[in-house]
A and B are shown apart, each in its own frame.
Chain A
Amino acid sequence: MNRSTPQSNGLDRRSFLVGAGAVAAASSLPRVAFGSPPPLGTDALVLVFLRGGMDGISLCSPFADPHLASARPGLAMPNPGQPNGVHYLTSFFGLHPAAAPLLPAFQSGKLLFVHATGSPESSRSHFEAQNRMESAWTGPGIGLTSGWVARHLAAQTGAGVLRGMGTGDTLTRGLIGSRGVLPIRDPSEFRMPGSLATSSARRQALERMYRDAAPAYADASEDTFGTIDVLSSIDFQSYVPAGGAVYPATPFGRQFQSTAALLKASVGVRCIEIDMHGWDHHTNLGAVGGSFAALTQQLALTLAAFRLDMGVNLSGVDVIVMSEFGRRLRPNANQGLDHGRGGCMLLLGGGIAGGRVLTQWPGLAPANLHDGDLAITIDYRDVLAEMLVRRFGCTNIAEVFPGFTPLFRGVTI
């Protein structure tokens, strides 16, 4: 708990803010942490949710923690400089070898790791943890059906017709609850179907039918037609990534390439969520060559290509990579890791104060663990709230994270 970090006095400030938050809630004023400058702009947010519980200790490995090696026989990786060793990030943390494509972004100060972070909720259920993280609800039961991204986007009236999109099969919980947010797996195919000759007459018939339908359908159809107009103006098929960037030939890679094309077209999209599945490594997590490494490499290659492709445009874009929880410190019998607690977030973009590992490292000594796992010392909402207010032009942070007073940790420049 006393390891030196950039935020070593954070806990004291935090306890002060708990009291301050209570006052703010009573007067129902939107309140953010003291001393925060006004919003800097309206960057686009690319949100990557790593479904399944990404093991932050493998990704951003605390190699200098004296308890790591003994807690993870067979899974802890060698120190920097050794064969198959982690890459040096700081004197305490090293990067998983498969994530090496991220090193240039880190070294140029555009990539930040936030470690020992997560939700104060202690659920080890994927679904409850994801639901609560995406709705940002901390009370009993399901108190909010909308998501934090959607509540932010709902107030972004200056955004385009298409305020946000998810690339998954359905809208995720985080995106539910705002106008102008649609599930779009492939933006190049989002157009009026059928023959061009009758397209506008058929569209008029559909518009007439949906205008008087139940509100959920009327709204969805209006957003759909507006989005058809917006996306049909962009030539996704002949898009060539800039800077020689090559995206992995995976759905995840292709979705990032489409995202780059969409963002460069400046049509007012404020958030694109691209999820990545498969992080639930109960078996054979592997150290340098297992399934974790393969996923990590795909993530790293994609983010590196995106950074290269965006070039100077990265100044208006920030990527947030998060997961519902970290994993157990100690492996199970299958050389996998069951569900744990504290995890790691990645922030990449023009507005990120990167090149660092931001943490109040709680340590892996048995006495410092939370129920046997990495404890959480930075609330994920602190990170998101600072990003929202400082980078994404959020004006309603008290609605986005109800009942919570965030502490800005200095993740933005």
Chain B
Amino acid sequence: MPLTLSRLPVGGLDRLLERISYGHQPALRDRAFALGWEAFLEEQLHPENLADPEGDAMAARFPTLSMSPRQLFDAYGVTGALQIPMVELQTASLLRAARSRRQLHERMVEFWSDHFSIDQSDSLASILKTQDDRDVCRAHALGTFPQLLRASARSAAMLFSLGNYRSTASAPNENYGREILELHSIGLGQFTELDVREAARCLTGWTFLQFEDANAGAFRFEPAMHDNGPKLFLGDTIPAGGGVLDGQKLIRTTSLHPATAQRISGKLCRWFHGVEVAPIVAAAAAEWTATQGDIRAVMRVMLSQSAFAGAPPDVRKTKRPFHFAAGILRSLPFLFTGTTALAEELAAMGHRPFHWPAPDGYPDTTDAWVGGLQRRWSFASRLFGNQVSGVSIDVGAAFGTAPKTSWARRAAWLLRGPGPLTHDVAAIQDYVDLFPAASDTLRAETLALTASAPSFQSY
């Protein structure tokens, strides 16, 4: 359930920045104000044209990100060190969310990672999710939905997780056939149990090359496993003998179905605007239909100035822990020396990336997360106290020469940017004033309290 706060809304471009990014950072804000709404949004909609040295440098620290399933299997599968590629991907996701200039792209990647949720802890998914993240969620985050859905349907991680890789004509496995309809496209109420069975039949033979193969993890259509009989899917007859075309037709039909446009536009609207705003969803769904599922075009509509003008100004949704942590790491420079600690911190907050145990993805509601305040306070305290191993923050540099009497305001600017000064700031400054001497401990506590304040928990 969204929250309504009696706090003044952040105005204009700052609202756009708050919704499409993981949090305040002066450089991005300056860029937005220099370009103006349309040009800045257009820049964010084209991450491929946006130089991103800091984000690239973060990614470059994790060699497994660019490895193929074959390479990952040889390097880690044989020795059983599967934790390495898993934790690298989790940590890289957080650091890119925090430091990449392609903020909208990162928010989209997180969205699709839940939409096509894969639990890395499920056996081979530990190795295969790396490829899925790179070639599905990242590659198509702002591409077209038919291509995104097709890439997911050909992804070894997805075919493995939902069991389709072994589904055969003699008795198809319905798991993926169900979820591609219910979760990935048209949604509940749009299909029957018969459609589930027919979808599963269409997808029989969609599998991937196993680890005996040099090109392991690549998609493979296995004709011998495919059910070549005629099918009746969503009221349309699929003639016999279609082979791999059956599945392709299924993907085309579902990805361009009006119910998919409506449903995913609604999910995206909740993601960026906090609630489903009927006119925004309708405009986005219409754009989806007009452009045959061009995600970039849909986002251009959803994030337009006029869309924001029609959205309720005071709706704020609780940040999920990943968003919360990325926002903190975004606010200050830090030295990262590469350990597993950040991923463990996310796990302690209940939000280790790619670890939701069901295929529906982590929830995106205030109800589900608001009870976890203590976990967030702990993370903020440890991080600013330099107790998260491998991450060090120079809290002295963060405050510079600012007088102690302005520390709460300084911390609020660093973490939240130009939002109005809430009474949080007064409470934190009163805390600072309790102590006569300036110290790094007090600076760290000031930052941790600011990150722990109610005003930092939502967006």
Interface residues of A (CB under 8 A from B): 51-52, 124-128, 145, 168-171, 176-177, 181-183, 185, 189-195, 198, 201-202, 204-206, 208-210, 212-214, 216-217, 220-221, 223-224, 227-228, 277-278, 280, 282-283, 331-334, 336, 338-339, 371
Q: B162, B174, B445: which contacts A194 (Cβ < 8 A)?
A: B445
**A214 and B188 in contact (CB under 8 A), knowing A205-B449, A333-B167?**
no
Q: B440 within 8 Å of A by Cβ?
A: no
- Is A193 a contact partner of B378 (Cβ separation < 8 A)? yes
- Is B445 a contact partner of A198 (Cβ separation < 8 A)? yes
Q: B336 within 8 Å of A by Cβ?
A: no
For B430, what are the chain A residues with a Cβ–Cβ distance below 8 Å?
Answer: 205
Q: A124, A214, A221, A371: which contacts B373 (Cβ < 8 A)?
A: A221
Complex CA distance for A161 and B430, rounded to whole angstroms: 29
Q: Taking chain B's interface residues, is the majority helix, strand, or loop, or is none over half, making it mixed?
A: helix
- Is A176 a contact partner of B368 (Cβ separation < 8 A)? yes
Q: A171, A205, A283: which contacts B431 (Cβ < 8 A)?
A: A205
Sample of 24 A–B contacts (CB below 8 Å) = A51-B357, A127-B182, A127-B358, A128-B188, A145-B1, A171-B371, A176-B367, A176-B368, A177-B367, A183-B350, A189-B348, A202-B449, A206-B453, A209-B454, A210-B454, A214-B5, A217-B3, A217-B457, A280-B175, A282-B173, A282-B174, A333-B166, A334-B166, A336-B173
**A170 and B369 in contact (CB under 8 A), knowing A125-B178, A333-B172?**
yes
**A338 and B174 in contact (CB under 8 A), knowing A170-B363, A216-B3?**
yes
Q: B362 within 8 Å of A by Cβ?
A: yes
> Would you give the shortest CB distance from B228 to chain A, in whole angstroms?
16
Beta-carbon contacts under 8 Å, B1-47 to A: 1, 3-6
- Is A214 a contact partner of B173 (Cβ separation < 8 A)? no
**A169 and B172 in contact (CB under 8 A), knowing A214-B3, A217-B370, A336-B163?**
no
Closest to B182 in A: A125
For B348, what are the chain A residues with a Cβ–Cβ distance below 8 Å?
Answer: 185, 189
Complex CA distance for A217 and B441, rounded to whole angstroms: 27
Complex CA distance for A194 and B452, rounded to whole angstroms: 12
For A181, what are the chain B residues with a Cβ–Cβ distance below 8 Å?
Answer: 371
Complex CA distance for A208 and B350, rounded to whole angstroms: 26
Complex CA distance for A195 and B372, rounded to whole angstroms: 20
For A228, what are the chain B residues with a Cβ–Cβ distance below 8 Å?
Answer: 374
Since A176-B368, A193-B378 are in contact, a sample of 17 more A-B pairs with Cβ atoms closer than 8 Å, ordered by chain A residue number, is A51-B357, A124-B193, A125-B178, A127-B182, A169-B356, A170-B372, A182-B372, A183-B372, A189-B348, A193-B380, A194-B381, A209-B423, A209-B424, A209-B428, A227-B374, A331-B171, A334-B167
Scoring B5, B171, B381, B448 by chain A CB atoms within 10 A of each residue's CB, the highest score goes to B171
Closest to B376 in A: A193
Q: B168 within 8 Å of A by Cβ?
A: yes
Q: B79 within 8 Å of A by Cβ?
A: no
Complex CA distance for A204 and B430, rounded to whole angstroms: 10
Scoring A194, A206, A332 by chain B CB atoms within 10 A of each residue's CB, the highest score goes to A194
- Is B434 a contact partner of A201 (Cβ separation < 8 A)? yes
Complex CA distance for A277 and B358, rounded to whole angstroms: 8
Beta-carbon contacts under 8 Å, B138-153 to A: none
- Is B163 a contact partner of A334 (Cβ separation < 8 A)? yes
**What interface size band does chain B fall in?**
35 or more
Q: B1, B166, B173, B350: which contacts A168 (Cβ < 8 A)?
A: B350
Closest to A123 in B: B188
- Is A185 a contact partner of B385 (Cβ separation < 8 A)? no
For B363, what are the chain A residues with a Cβ–Cβ distance below 8 Å?
Answer: 170
- Is A332 a contact partner of B178 (Cβ separation < 8 A)? no
Complex CA distance for A177 and B167, rounded to whole angstroms: 41
- Is A169 a contact partner of B445 (Cβ separation < 8 A)? no
Q: Mark B153-189, 1 if CB is under 8 A from A, else 0.
A: 0000000001100111011111100100011000010
**A171 and B367 in contact (CB under 8 A), knowing A193-B381, A209-B424?**
yes
- Is B173 a contact partner of A338 (Cβ separation < 8 A)? yes
Complex CA distance for A192 and B374, rounded to whole angstroms: 8
Q: B171, B382, B423: which contacts A193 (Cβ < 8 A)?
A: B382
Complex CA distance for A182 and B376, rounded to whole angstroms: 14
Closest to B366 in A: A216
- Is A51 a contact partner of B358 (Cβ separation < 8 A)? yes
- Is A278 a contact partner of B357 (Cβ separation < 8 A)? yes
Scoring A171, A204, A209, A210 by chain B CB atoms within 10 A of each residue's CB, the highest score goes to A209
Q: B351 within 8 Å of A by Cβ?
A: yes
Complex CA distance for A280 and B430, rounded to whole angstroms: 53
Q: B394 within 8 Å of A by Cβ?
A: no
For A217, what are the chain B residues with a Cβ–Cβ distance below 8 Å?
Answer: 3, 370, 373, 454, 457
> Would you give the shortest CB distance from A129 to chain B, in whole angstroms?
11
